[in-house]
Structure 1
Amino acid sequence: MKVILLMATTLDGKIGKSPDHFPDWTGKADKKLFVEITKRAGVVIMGSKTFDTIGKPLPDRKNIILTRNKKRISEWENLVFTDESPGAVLEHLAAEGFSEVVLAGGAMVNSLFAEAGLIDEIIVTISPKIFGFGLSLFTQEISMELVLKDVRRLGENLVCLTYSVVNAPLLNHRFGRGFFQVGA
């Protein structure tokens, strides 16, 4: 199962000003790339704060929402709330026939997958914005070695960088630790 972390950042490396900052600052070319990659994968994984900011599931894709709230129930066919570990989520998706998934944030979900050594590729679009403060890609210290695969311009003002992850963090097990154990 290939896991792609797909995020838009500002030039100063922020993915948002706050957890509920709606991602309307990224531009059309970034949104087009996001739709293209997530539809190709067929499944997108995000945290509950990211989902709540968007407000509804992304169409034509399976939406997996990681949450600690076991009472959340989906009213949509293409949306699943779960408190399972990243590894368990990937195992279920592989059993359903998916071969690729996209992590769409936020920083906590990114950290959960990174800490478990489950990210294979990182695609980042850099928007011509500076927030000066806000959320980073990860909520904690993460150590990854990356190899640059591609650099391209998107539209007039965006740059898209694609990296392969060549080594996972110290916790390098394919289906890592539980959802509630980040930073434990």
Structure 2
Amino acid sequence: MKVILLAAISADGKIAQSVDQNSTDWTSKEDIQFFVKKSKEIGALIMGKTTYGTIGKPLKDRVIYVLSLRPEEETPAEGVRYVGGELVDILAQVEADGFSSVLIAGGASVYSQFLSQGLVDEMFLTVEPYLFGKGIPLVGDMDVVKMMFVDAQQIGQETIVLHYRLK
């Protein structure tokens, strides 16, 4: 199972100014296109409940695994599965559902958990030309994670995608 983390960040490393801000409120159309393309290629996404709440609906041609402390109490929808427990067990479930890769799509707590447990193989960071100052950082408190630079790609006038390998 290949685990790929994908995040849009401001130039100062924030994923949002507040918990209720949707990244599409401030990211470029090229970032949105990159997300759609990458997520459709992979087919499966894992995200937290707060991130799913900002999207608010299933995504066509993709399955979203929403992390929840009480998945049995959630109301499932077509293309949305609520899951809980150990991350390695959730990855095994995604693989058992027929996916060879999964996209980790936020938020900061989810990113931190996957990174701190050494579960991320690759990372794509879309850097947008904003400085938020205050806001939600890409990751919370965690140990240092060493990454290997793969490449950088400009997608549009002002947006850059940084690609890293972690394992």
Q: Tell me the TM-score normalized by structure 2.
A: 0.95
Query: Per-residue deviation at 1:144?
Result: 1.1
Query: Per-residue deviation at 1:84?
Result: 2.1
Q: Following the alignment from structure 2 to structure 1, what is the Cα–Cα distance between the partners of residues 11 and 32?
A: 17
Q: Is the 8 A contact 1:9 1:127 kept in 2?
A: yes
Aligned to 1:3: 3
Pairing 1:19-38 to 2, within 5 Å after superposition: 19-23=19-23, 24-38=25-39
Question: Partner of 2:26: helix, strand, or coil?
Answer: coil
Question: Partner of 1:114: helix, strand, or coil?
Answer: helix
Q: Is the 8 A contact 1:18 1:135 kept in 2?
A: yes
Of 28-37 and 63-72, deviating more is 63-72
Moved over 2 A (4+): none
Aligned to 1:161: 162
Pairing 1:90-129 to 2, within 5 Å after superposition: 90-129=91-130
Unaligned runs of 5+ in 2: none
Of 156-165 and 79-88, deviating more is 79-88
Deviations 1:141-175 (A, max 9, x none): 23211111111101000011000003xxxxxxxxx
Pairing 1:52-131 to 2, within 5 Å after superposition: 52-70=53-71, 71-74=73-76, 76-131=77-132
Question: Partner of 1:123: helix, strand, or coil?
Answer: strand
Q: Is the 8 A contact 2:116 2:145 kept in 1?
A: no
Query: Per-residue deviation at 1:96?
Result: 1.9
Q: Following the alignment from structure 1 to structure 2, what is the Cα–Cα distance between the partners of residues 4 and 142?
A: 19
Unaligned runs of 5+ in 1: 167-184
Pairing 1:116-155 to 2, within 5 Å after superposition: 116-155=117-156
- Amino acid across the alignment from 1:54: I
Q: Following the alignment from structure 1 to structure 2, what is the Cα–Cα distance between the partners of residues 141 and 116?
A: 10
Query: Per-residue deviation at 1:138?
Result: 1.2
Structure whose residues are more often helix by fraction: 2
Q: Tell me the TM-score normalized by structure 1.
A: 0.86
Q: Provide the alpha-carbon RMSD of the alignment.
A: 1.0
